[in-house]
Chains A and B, each alone.
Chain A
Amino acid sequence: MEHSLSDRSALIGFVVVGLLVLIREQPRLLNWGRRLGIEQLLNSRLQFLIVGLLLSETGVGALNQSIVRELDALVTLGLGILGLLLGLRFAGPASKDPRIVRAAGVEGITTLLLVGGPLFFLLDMVSSLTWQQRAVAAALLGCTAAISGRRSFTRSRSEPGPWAPLNHVADLSTILGVLAAGILLAVLSPSAGVSPLERVLTMAVIGCIGGLGAWLLATDSKPGALRTALLLGVLLVTAGTATHLALPPVAATLIMGLTIANLPGSLAQELAESLAFLESPVRALLLVMAGAALPLPSSTALIGVALFLTLRTAGKILGGRMGSSFAKELLPEKMGLGLLPSSAVALGLALDFQATAPGVIAHVVVITAVLGSLFSETAGVWTTQVLARAHMLSEAALDAVSEVTSAAPQANEQTR
């Protein structure tokens, strides 16, 4: 079979990306990063965005529209994996602690409103969008702003330490943001003869059926290669169905993950572990695709990015302060600093926006979401370290935290 030069270049580019992913986290390279003062840049994975920009049509042209279409299945799978892994985190009593849920809800909604509200008016000053378009753009950006990435607050990645509740808040905020964005995108999606409510319900049904199917197959097989293959198959069907019906795959697979996490048994953690090794390459892939899809930012767009970041930071800090009041013994007052880092899911949503939202809105949202996420990743690592150093929890707080985190494995034992 003959292949065009662009085909090969794109695939070679992806393999280079894959190797970069693996090399990026080598201790020796990180040591050099520290010495050169670019550790945060390495952590932000900015290099993958640059690779995407270079491969795009404005660069060497390797990632043109036809190649991107050929990689559709891979991207759909990647988006599906992100959504599923996010949903699977909503398992176990620790993440469902009412105090944590309230704190996350307050923080997420505060951030969403604090970003979406002002942007609705500010966009009027810097762009010529109609009020409906501004509302949609502001809402989508608000949802993206609510997303927070997990962080290891200690040196050891396997030991979350006393910051597990903060990770749960980050997860729940992200779930809230993705669900809200998913509902909005489902409403906006172009489906003739189907009402917005029906589209939202269809997305929910797709996710629930996918989750139930995956759960049934997983409970009937042992951990191993077969179970991974079955899970990937269900993921492809769920994410593919959503994409085929012009619905956001990230949200559909998030619902799939939530469904599995709330069904009997302790499969959520096992399934998450069997797919976790794909998360890093998927992030890199989405960054490359986002870079390739990134339109050249105008000065207006850069102003929008700056506004977004400012409002998001304010929202996180204020929302964090308000949210932590619902769980004073578990969460530090300045938890907003620890929630500034973003997540790869934000990039997945940006790609979804591009596919579903009208062109002008997509232009604004994609640039803002991508650049904003990268900046948050970079600066967010520093703010997390500030929080970790500044907040030495009292003994009583540590005891309360360990009570919550140690309840999780015991509850899992009871449900086996």
Chain B
Amino acid sequence: MKRATALVLILSLVVLARHIGGDGSGRFATMALGFVLIVAALIGEAFEHLKLPRLTGYLLVGLAFGPSVLNLITPGMTHHLRLVNGLAVALISFGAGMELDIHKLRGQWRSLVKHGWILLAGLYIGLFSAMLAATPFLPFTAAASWSVRVAVAIVTASVMATFSPTVVMAVLSETRARGPLSERVLQLVILADLGVVVVFTGATTAARLLDGASVNLGLVFRHVSWEIFGSLFIGLAVGVGVYFYRLLVNERTGLVLAGLCLFIAEVGSRMGLSPLLCCLAAGCVARNTAPHAAHEMEELLHRVRMPVLVVFFAAAGASLHLNELATVAPLAVGLVLARAGLIFGVNKVAARQAGVRPEIARHVPFGLISQAGIALGLAVIVGREFLSWGSMLETLFVAAISLHELVGPIVFRWALNRMGEVPENTPEPEFDLELDAEAMGT
């Protein structure tokens, strides 16, 4: 009752402002952002009580308030949120990096690599074959040449064979899930993310050649190498810096970590690096050089992270294209089902070869369904690079990715619950004033 009353009061402010001042200015975006933050945080908590992922609640709120439905968050407003988006990805990645225990990984490395490469190779080949077989029946490739169809199939496989480290990390973070399923899914999506740059660049290069365009292979190689190895190197350096900061200063660590994440997000993008890989590496180093402090750092990051994540996923929801989903719904659903079927099928083989326990292997695919920012970014690149068929393929990708983004967190959370890896009554982290005083300097 109190919450409903509060929402009515706050909504009245927004309506008053819109009525008197209109909604064209950037200042209205600030109000809209605040209102979405409140509603999304409350809906997320309600979803938590229903044992559903909070971030699904955030996504649905963003969808409801976005251009497709209520249009409270207009496309222009998303421009104001890019700072938050970069910070969110960086914070999530840093947190994921802190989950990677090198000592544990040493014992699992062979199994993980085997599992990963068989899964990715099988998925890629399966998607390529399925798309190639479907091209004669697709409206935008039915009359195309053989080389164009192969190009379309290559690009589709490279985009659809990606996973979402952001969503996986966010679900694990909000549920505080711990266990072999959580570890294996996180390791797989990170491993896949390391390869996505190489695979996608290779695929688009091949597609451009098949499409008749010219390519500077040397430049492509340099770009890819810099993005992967440069990101990891910078991330390692930052992680070492965090270690020495804790050793020598150890004040306001939470704010320092958040500031570093923002720094990496902005500087990294400018320098052609991958902020996700940078922060991943930084978090991994920070964790493994000070394992006793990992829990404390995670708690500090959690407090800074929550408002940022709410806004990030709400904005992601606002950018989901319901209209496009409607126009290509049958194709998108077909693509989603094909991808899901391949993931389950190929994973069975890969897990067996890697010696993964059957009960874990059965649930791993649920964590691989999600797709989000990375895949969307690749789809946009496809739309931009291939003028004759790229935009139509982009529409199909966006529709399929939207479905994955909505459904993926739910099924992953369900799998985690089934495996018993989600603690009962996941506690809302309360403020420990002593910890806060140390971490924030108050």
Q: Is B75 an interface residue (CB 8 A)?
A: no
The residue on A at minimum CB distance from B4 is: A216
Q: How far is the CA of A210 from the CA of B9 in the complex (A)?
A: 8
The reply on A76 being an interface residue by CB < 8 A is: yes
Contacts of B430 in A (CB 8 A): 222-224
* Docked complex Cα distance between A333 and B83 (Å): 50
B-binding segment of A50-58, A140-148, A271-279: A271-279
Most buried by B among A213, A228, A234: A213
Question: Which chain B residues (269-314) contact chain A, with CB distance < 8 Å?
Answer: 269-270, 302-303, 305-307, 310
Q: Is the CB of A230 within 8 A of B41?
A: yes
Q: Which of B245-263 contact A (CB under 8 A)?
A: 249, 251-252, 254-256, 259, 262-263
Q: Which of A70, A191, A233, A277 contacts B37 (CB 8 A)?
A: A233
Of A10-18, A36-44, A113-121, A343-351, the stretch lying at the interface with chain B is A10-18
CB contact between B45 and one of A76, A226, A240 (< 8 Å): that residue? A226
Say yes or no for B392: interface residue by CB 8 A criterion. no
Chain A residue at minimum C-beta to C-beta distance from B31: A240
Q: Is the CB of B14 within 8 A of A76?
A: no
Q: Which of A241-249, A300-308, A399-407 lies at the interface with chain B?
A: A241-249
Report the nearest B residue to A22, measured CB to CB: B252
B34 touches A236 (CB 8 A): yes
Do A228 and B303 have beta carbons less than 8 Å apart?
yes
Chain A residue with the shortest CB-CB distance to B12: A209
Interface residues in chain B, defined as those with a beta carbon under 8 Å from any beta carbon in chain A = 2-3, 5-7, 9-10, 12-14, 16-17, 20-21, 25-31, 33-38, 41-42, 45, 79-80, 82-83, 249, 251-252, 254-256, 259, 262-263, 266-267, 269-270, 302-303, 305-307, 310, 428-431, 433, 436, 440-442
- Are A241 and B428 in touch, CB under 8 angstroms? no
Q: Is the Cβ of A73 less than 8 Å from the Cβ of B30?
A: yes
B26 touches A69 (CB 8 A): yes
**Inter-chain contacts of A97 with B (CB < 8 A):** none
Complex contacts, B25 vs chain A, CB 8 Å:
244
10 contacts across the A-B interface (CB closer than 8 A): A15-B263, A19-B256, A194-B20, A206-B13, A216-B9, A222-B428, A223-B431, A226-B428, A238-B34, A277-B441
Instruction: Sort chain A's interface into a size bin.
Output: 35 or more
When the two chains form the complex, which single residue of B30, B35, B270, B441 contacts A8, counting CB atoms closer than 8 Å? Answer: B270
Which A residues between 345 and 365 are near B, CB-CB below 8 angstroms?
none
Q: Are A281's CB and B255's CB within 8 A?
A: yes
Interface pair A241/B37, CB less than 8 Å apart: no
Smallest distance from the beta carbon of A330 to chain B beta carbons, Å? 27
What is the CA–CA distance of A206 and B34 in the complex, to the nearest angstrom? 14
Chain A residues whose C-beta falls within 8 Å of the C-beta of B13 in the assembled complex:
206, 209-210, 213, 237-238, 241
Q: How many A-B residue pairs have CB under 8 A?
A: 180
The listed residue (B16, B26, B256) touching A241 by CB distance below 8 A is B16
Report chain A residues within 8 Å CB of B82.
1
Majority SS at the chain A contact face? helix
Question: Cβ of A273 and Cβ of B433 under 8 Å apart?
Answer: yes
**Distance (whole angstroms) from the CB of A33 to the closest CB of chain B:** 16
Residues of the B chain whose Cβ atoms lie less than 8 Å from the Cβ of A243 = 27, 30
Q: Knowing A18-B255, A222-B430, A229-B307 touch, does A241 contact B38 (C-beta < 8 A)?
A: no
* Complex alpha-carbon distance, A194 and B41, angstroms: 35
CB distance from A256 to the nearest CB of B (A): 11
Whether A245 contacts B20 by the Cβ 8 Å rule is yes
5 A-B pairs with least C-beta separation: A236-B34, A277-B440, A240-B30, A240-B31, A233-B38
A409 to B334, CA, bound (A): 65
Chain A contacts of B310 at CB under 8 A? 229
Could you give, for residues 203-239 of chain A, a 1 whenever the CB lies within 8 Å of some chain B CB and a 0 otherwise?
0001001101110110110111110111011111111
A72 touches B (CB below 8 Å)? yes
Q: What A residues does B16 contact at CB under 8 A?
A: 241
> Which A-chain residue is minimally distant from B265 (CB atoms)?
A11
Closest to A246 in B: B21
Give the distance in Å from the alpha carbon of A25 to the alpha carbon of B25 in the complex: 38
A73 near B33 (CB under 8 angstroms)?
yes
Residues of the B chain whose Cβ atoms lie less than 8 Å from the Cβ of A69: 26
18 further A-B pairs in the complex, CB-CB below 8 A; given A214-B6, A244-B30, A277-B442:
A8-B267, A11-B262, A15-B263, A15-B266, A73-B29, A76-B30, A77-B30, A213-B9, A222-B430, A225-B306, A226-B45, A233-B41, A236-B33, A237-B13, A238-B34, A240-B28, A241-B17, A245-B21
**Cα–Cα, bound, A77→B308 (Å):** 14
Cβ of A240 and Cβ of B303 under 8 Å apart?
no
Q: What chain A residues lie within 8 Å of B307 (beta carbons)? A: 225, 228-229, 232-233
Nearest A-chain residue to B308, judged by Cβ:
A229
Q: Complex: how many Å from CA A22 to CA B7?
A: 36
A226 and B306: CB pair below 8 A? yes
Whether B266 contacts A8 by the Cβ 8 Å rule is yes
Q: How far is the CB of B72 from chain A (nearest CB, A)?
A: 12
Task: Give the distance to chain B from A114, nearest Cβ to Cβ, in Å.
Answer: 35
In the assembled complex, how far is the CB of residue B397 from the closest CB belonging to chain A, in whole angstroms? 18
Q: CA A235 – CA B10 in complex, angstroms?
A: 10
Q: How far is the CA of A243 from the CA of B79 in the complex (A)?
A: 19
- CB-contact partner of A237 in B31, B254, B302, under 8 A: B31
Most buried by A among B31, B34, B430: B34
Point out the residue from A212, A236, A273 that lies within 8 Å of B31, measured CB to CB.
Answer: A236
Is A228 a contact partner of B259 (Cβ separation < 8 A)?
Answer: no
User: B251 contacts A225, CB within 8 Å?
Assistant: no
Q: Out of B35, B266, B428, B442, which one reaches A233, CB within 8 Å?
A: B35
Interfacial chain B residues near A3, Cβ < 8 Å = 269-270
- B303→A225 contact, CB < 8 A: yes
**Chain B neighbourhood of A277, CB < 8 A:** 254-255, 436, 440-442
List A contacts of B5 (CB < 8 A): 216
Across the interface, B17 reaches (CB within 8 A) one of A11, A220, A222, A244, namely A244
Most central of B16, B30, B255, B428 by chain A CB within 10 Å: B30
Answer whether residue A310 sits at the interface, using C-beta atoms and an 8 A cutoff. no
Name the contact of B3 in the complex, choosing from A70, A216, A232, A274 (C-beta under 8 A).
A216
